[in-house]
Structure 1
């Protein structure tokens, strides 16, 4: 115990980012800045379009608005700090700020899992039970599902973050990652991490597996119903209403499953960095594109939105 007390407690971490790519930092800064600006702008446009167009005031687009809001905050928790590391020698982050970043990032990720499940349920009702859709997916129901996604998401990582914050960090304090995530932090802990690692893996697996399973079940029924539609036009129309969401689900769950539904030590940090970039930076950028290109109502509304902006300029 005395030896533990003599150890220096870490009060800040150094976020190393991508040390092997240091010569490419100016290029990486420009690339990720453009991606970040595009992500924020794209999601704000989607959010504003849905909010101002009465034709889009239906549960599907109400959920999309929440998804856009999540993506804005999700990427903003990570990218600005990463961008600063490309141009500044100061790569430090205080212990408390690191824990806050870990909590916010984990919360928004969990919230997105819940919301994508709610969106799958909405598409299930719309396609498999169209006659009962309006009575089952009321405004109140959609509000409750969206609110529950946020609340559930922000409650889910409380225990993992508390467990990590209670670990002893006595040095080194260099985080070989581009943000404060569980795996690189656990590698720096001086005290035993077995219980914490087991708890995080169990909770993450439970969250991801349950939400993914419900989403998959919804799409099994959806695809079965679509295949039963006699006309090709009818099948195409039905599929077009859920194609965008299905693409987003496949991209999102593909990366987070590889990241979190396996022991923390199984993959190298370099592989996890690539996977993290996919769902923290790339996926939030792709979502506005996917929903804009795959949904006719959204395409029409966006065209109208930009025409109105163009008229105001002229």
Structure 2
């Protein structure tokens, strides 16, 4: 099978096509013929800094067709189903592959009415947003702020927070204000270093929690009430002022949360979540997709097709 990976870390140009043996699903696993794999910031970090032992393959989102079921695997999926999955990359095991074997818990049917490319934009980013909200554990009626709200994870966080009954205040550049409003944010404020001050103008006591999709870290703690919490998606774990707590999250901890991934599938079908694809690239153009993502300003996900 063809994979897109690298043997030495570096610029996007290190990404190249390799021919590797196709995997066989073991007990508890299923095999997916991948048709689409999303490109995420975690992929670019891996490519730029991971020293590989052999071929390293990025990619945390896969969508395609279920091709085989491992011996003794318990699943309601059947061969031929259109599916989507979250992948925890490890060495040559990554979503930028024509075929991938995964734990059955990491795979669900793709939402009805969308294609492989759209489905590939959902699992990792939506599960990250779900984990962020579960970690905050706010009650309906409380207020959550979201930075990076026009991005893929941030947009899902806005939509899921509204579905949870929360009040949402989000940031946006002028060009993205309409998008973020359509996603459901109750209050949209200009993005930037003064976001915390602008939040306090609207919410003098501060918001109950904040999901830091823009990775502003200490810069945005002022937006949160005394004793509130900030969700860090990049491992930031400093002691906050006024009892504000940073809570780092890592989506691999939800990689086998089958019920949560399937609930996201249902929310897409119900119109509560909107898959967003910025652009498609043939898998062989993965380097260009990485350059595009690292250039900034991408709204939605870039997706590789196989």
Flag whether TM exceeds 0.5 (same fold): no
Structure with bigger strand share is: 2
Structure with bigger helix share is: 1
Q: TM-score, normalised by structure 1?
A: 0.25
Greater Cα radius of gyration, structure 1 or 2? 1
